[in-house]
Amino acid sequence: MLSIKNLHVSVGDKPILKGINLEIKPGEIHAIMGPNGSGKSTLSHILSGKSGYTVTEGSATYQGKDLLEMPPEIRAREGVFLAFQYPVEIPGVSNVYLLKAALNSIRKHHGQSEVDAMDFLTLVKGKVRLLEMDEKFLYRAVNEGFSGGEKKRNEILQMAILEPKLCILDETDSGLDIDALKIVSEGVNSLRSSGRSFVMVTHYQRLLDYIKPDFVHVLAHGQIVKSGGAELALELEEKGYSWLEDAEASA
Amino acid sequence: MATANTSAYVDGYPEVVSLLCGQSLPWLQQQRADALLQLTTHGFPSLRDEDWRYTNVSAIDKKHYGVALKSASVAIDSDWLKTYQLADAWSLVLIDGYFSAELSNLNGLPEGVTVVSLAQAMQDTHYSALIEGRLNSAVESTENGFVALNGAYFVDGALIYISSKQVLAKPIQVLHIATQELAAINTRTLIVADELSEAQLIETFAGLDCAYLSVAVAEVFVGQNAAVTLHKVQVESDKALHFGGTYVKQARDARFRHDNFALGGLLARSDVHTDLEQASECELNGLYLGVKRQQIDNHTRINHLKPHGISRQLYKGVLDDKARGVFQGRVVVAEDAQKTDSQMNNRNLLLSNDAEADTKPQLEIYADDVKCAHGVTVGQLDEKSIFYLQSRCVDEETARNMLTFAFANEMVDKVKIKSLHDLILGQVLTRFPQEGINKEWL
Ligand SMILES: Nc1ncnc2c1ncn2[C@@H]1O[C@H](COP(=O)(O)OP(=O)(O)OP(=O)(O)O)[C@@H](O)[C@H]1O
Ligand SMILES: [Mg+2]
C-alpha cells in the first residue's frame, strides 16, 4: 500500500525528517509514537501533500505510484485521508456540502456518476449515528465553533463517509474524553478491512487499548528509532522515550 | 493635484432650471441657489480633503455629463427590468432620474403609507409639511461637492412616508435605472418613518451598458422607537460613476440598519452617516466587490450624540485584478454620549497582487464611560484552509473560490427578504471574480 524509503524532509534549511523507512501493507495498523516535535505531523503532512516542505532525499510510493508527485486533492481522491491534529475551521462552507463535494469528486475520479441525493443523506445520517453526533452538525459550517472533541469526531465522520484506503490519524485521540474516545475508536474499528490501512499518530497507549496496532514505531529526531509490536507501546508508557533517545545518541 | 472642474455644471445651470422639480417652492429655490453657490465656491472634493484622500474624482473631468432629459430615455426591456425589480415589493421606478408611473408598482399601499415621486409630491400641498423642513436637514450642501451638485440639480426622486405604528407587510423598493450615455442623473430620496413604525426599504441602482454619472442623496428620518432597514444594492454599469449618500437621523430608541452592496460602477462611492439619539441603535453592513480597474469606496460616519447608543459595523471587501477598495469609518462619541457601545470592523480579501485596499477606521471619543472597539484586516486566503479543502478532494482553484465566496456570502446571508437575497446573490455570483462558483456551497 505505502512504501516510504529513506525520506528526508526539510522546512527551509531545517531538516525535520532524516531518513524515514516504513512499509505498510493493506489491512495493517501502524502506530507512530514519539516525543513532541519529533516530526510525526510533518510525516502526516508530507504524505497528504501539504506545501511548504522540501523533500531532499528518498521516496514515498502509494499503490505503485509516486505519492509525492501528486497534488493533495488527487491523493485524497486516490484514497489517502488525513485526520488533522488541528482540524481547520471553514466559515461559510457547510459540512454536508463539503462531504458531498468530496464524495462526488472521488466518484468522478473513478469514473462513477454523482451520488444520488437520497442515498447520500441515508449514508451520511447512518455515519452520524455511528459517531453519536447530532445531525445539526451537518448543516453547520465546517468545524466552525466546534469544540476540540467535536472537531475530531467530525474528522472521523468524513473518513467514514469517504472510505479511504490509507487513513492517517494525527493525534485523533488527543483531547478526547474516554466516552468520546470509545465512540471514535468504534468508528475506526468499523472501517477496518483487509484493504484498508491505518497510520495512527498518538501520544497515548490508551488509544491502542481500543484499536490494536500491528506495529508500533517510535519517531525521534526525524528518524524511526525503534519498531515493534503492540507490546512496545506498553513499554513506552512505562519507560518513556529517553531510553530510546539515549540508545540512539550512543549508537 | 488638480481639482475636478465644476464649471460646466455651474455655467450650464440656467439652461436646465426648467427641468428641476419644486419650482413653486420658494424655500427650495433658495436651497438650490445655496447649493449651486457652494458648488461654485468649493467645487468637487479633492484628495486634500481628509474624507476624500483615497477618492480621486478626476474621472468626471474625462467626459462631459449633461443633465438627462426625460424624453431621451431609452426603452427598457421588461425582462431585463425584472432582474432588478422585486415582484413581492412595492416599487417606485426612476428612469434616468424621472419617475415612471408605468413601470412602478404601487398598488395596494396601506392607509398611512406614502410612496410617491418627489417631484409630484412637491406640486401637492398635501405633502408640504412632510417635505419642508426635512429636505436638506439630514445633510447640507456643505457636506461635499456631490451633495451640493445634487442639491442644485435633482430632478425627481422618491418620498416615502410611513405613519406611526405602521408595520409594513412588504418591502418598498426605489429602483434607479440609467439608460442614457453621458447622462448626469441627480435624484433625491426622502424617507420618514414615524414613531413605532417598521419598514424594510431597498434602493437599487442599475443601468444599461453606458457611461453616466449617478448622484443620489437619501435622507432618512427614523422616528422614536421605529425600526428601518435600508438595503442599498448598487449594481451600476461598469462604466458608470456613482456617488451616493445616505444621511440618517435616528430619534430616541430608533433602530436603523443599512445593508450596503457595492458591486457595480467604474468609480463608486457611498457615504452613510447617521446621528444617534439616546438609546438608538444602528447596524451598518457592507460588501464591496471590485474587479478589473473598479474603485469602490465606502465611508461611514456614526455620531453618537446621546447616552446608551449602540452601533455595529461590518464591511467586507473582495478585490481582484487592479481593483481598489476603500473603507473609511468614523465613529464620533459626543461628551454627552456615555455608555455608548460601538464596534467597527472592516475585512478585506485581496485576490491579486495588483489589488489594493485602503482602510481607515477612526474613533473620536469625548465621553469617558464607553465601550468602543474596531478592527481591520487586509489579507489573502488562508493557506491552511486551502490545504484542508484539498485534503478533502477539492482542487485548489475550487477551494480558493469556495473560500472567497464564503467570505462574501456572510454579508449576503444577512439579507432576510428572500427575493432580495436571491437578487443580490445572483449579482454577486455573476460579478464574482472567479468562475465556477456554486450556489450549493451555501
Ligand atoms: N513550518 C515549519 N517551520 C519551521 N519549523 C517547523 C515547521 N513545521 C514543523 N516544524 C518543526 O519541525 C519539528 C517537527 O514538528 P512536527 O509538528 O512534525 O512534530 P510532532 O512530532 O507532530 O510534534 P507534536 O507531538 O507536538 O504534535 C518541530 O521542531 C517543529 O517546530
Ligand atoms: Mg504533531
CATH number for position A182: 3.40.50.300
Nearest chain B Cα distance for residue A200, angstroms: 17
In a domain, B404, yes or no: yes
Q: Which domain holds residue A48?
A: 2-250
Average pLDDT across chain B, whole number: 94
**Last residue in a domain, options B231, B252, B277:** B277
Phi, psi at B31, each rounded to 5°: -60, -40
- Amino acid, single-letter form, for residue B292: K
Per-residue pLDDT at A146 exceeds 60 = yes
Choose the mutation target among B318, B385, B387, B391 for the interface with A, i.e. most A CBs under 10 Å.
B391
| End-to-end Cα spacing for chain A | 31
Per-residue pLDDT at B245 exceeds 60 = yes
The secondary structure element, H or E, covering residue A227 is: strand A223-228
Say if the Cβ atoms of A88 and B388 lie within 8 Å. yes
In chain B, how many domains are there? 2
CA distance B209 to B181: 8
CB B163 within 8 A of CB B193: no
CA distance A80 to B296: 44
Choose the mutation target among B287, B389, B392, B395 for the interface with A, i.e. most A CBs under 10 Å.
B392
Same domain, B203 and B88: yes
Interface predicted TM-score (ipTM) of this complex, two decimals: 0.95
In chain A, how many domains are there? 1
- Amino acid, single-letter form, for residue B72: A
Q: Does the C-beta of A16 come closer than 6 Å to ligand 1?
A: yes
User: Using CB atoms within 10 A of its CB, is residue A27 exposed (0-12), middle (13-18) or buried (19+)?
Assistant: middle
Q: How many CB atoms lie within 10 A of CB B61?
A: 14
Residue located via cell numbers 427575493: B419
* Contact A156/B at CB under 8 A: no
* Contact B441/A at CB under 8 A: yes
In a domain, B295, yes or no: no
Per-residue pLDDT at A15 exceeds 60 = yes
CA distance B219 to B424: 23
CB B103 within 8 A of CB B192: no
Lowest-confidence region among A165-179, A233-247, B46-60: A233-247
Same domain, B108 and B254: yes
Grid cell at residue B128:
408640504
Nearest chain B Cα distance for residue A103, angstroms: 8
User: Using CB atoms within 10 A of its CB, is residue A250 exposed (0-12), middle (13-18) or buried (19+)?
Assistant: exposed
**Last residue in a domain, options B258, B277, B296:** B277
The secondary structure element, H or E, covering residue B317 is: strand B310-319
Q: What is the DSSP letter of B434?
A: S
- Cα-to-centroid distance, B315 and ligand 1 (Å): 37
Secondary structure (3-state) at A2: strand
CA distance B338 to B68: 48
The residue-averaged pLDDT of A163-174 equals 94
Instruction: Give the pLDDT band (50/70/90) at residue A239.
Output: confident
Grid cell at residue B316:
467586507
For residues A134-153, b (16+ Cβ closer than 10 Å) or e, as one string? eeebbebbbbeebeebbbbb
In a domain, B157, yes or no: yes
pLDDT (tens digit per residue) in A88-141? 999 989 999 999 999 999 999 999 999 998 999 999 999 999 988 999 999 999
CA distance B63 to B67: 13
Listing DSSP states for B58-86 in one string gives GGGGSS--EEPPGGGPPP--HHHHHTTS-
Angle between helices A95-109 and A117-130 in degrees, nearest 10: 120
Lowest-confidence region among A126-140, B204-218, B243-257: A126-140
Same domain, B53 and B175: yes
CA distance A46 to A224: 16
CB A239 within 8 A of CB A37: no
Per-residue pLDDT at B243 exceeds 90 = yes
Grid cell at residue B389:
479543502
Choose the mutation target among A48, A51, A93, A99 for the interface with B, i.e. most B CBs under 10 Å.
A93
Say if the Cβ atoms of B393 and A87 lie within 8 Å. no
For residues B16-26, b (16+ Cβ closer than 10 Å) or e, as one string? beebbbbeebe
Lowest-confidence region among A60-64, A78-82, B9-13, B178-182: B9-13
CA distance A31 to B323: 51
Grid cell at residue B207:
443601468
Which pLDDT does position B1 carry in this prediction?
Answer: 42
Instruction: Give the pLDDT band (50/70/90) at residue A237.
Output: confident
Percent with pLDDT over 90 in chain B: 88
Nearest chain B Cα distance for residue A4, angstroms: 20
Per-residue pLDDT at B442 exceeds 50 = no
Grid cell at residue B107:
398598488
Q: Which domain holds residue B218?
A: 7-277
Same domain, B389 and B272: no
**Last residue in a domain, options B253, B277, B301:** B277
CA distance B299 to B359: 10
* Contact A72/B at CB under 8 A: yes
Say if the Cβ atoms of B388 and A102 lie within 8 Å. no
In a domain, B131, yes or no: yes
Average pLDDT across chain A, whole number: 92
Residue ranges near ligand 2 (ion) with Cβ within 5 Å:
A 40-41, 85
Q: Which of B148, B146, B280 is nearest to B225 (CA)?
A: B280
Grid cell at residue B345:
470592523
CB contacts under 8 A, A 158-197 vs B, are 158, 162
Q: What is the DSSP letter of B231?
A: E
B246 beta partners: B218, B272
Say if the Cβ atoms of A71 and B393 lie within 8 Å. no
- Cα-to-centroid distance, A36 and ligand 1 (Å): 8
Which pLDDT does position A66 carry in this prediction?
Answer: 96
Per-residue pLDDT at A240 exceeds 90 = no
CA distance A59 to A7: 6
Provide, as residue numbers in chain B, all residues whose Cβ is less than 8 Å from the Cβ of A76: 390-393
Q: Are strands B90-95 and B198-207 parallel, antiparallel or unpaired?
A: unpaired
Same domain, B15 and B132: yes
CB B337 within 8 A of CB B310: no
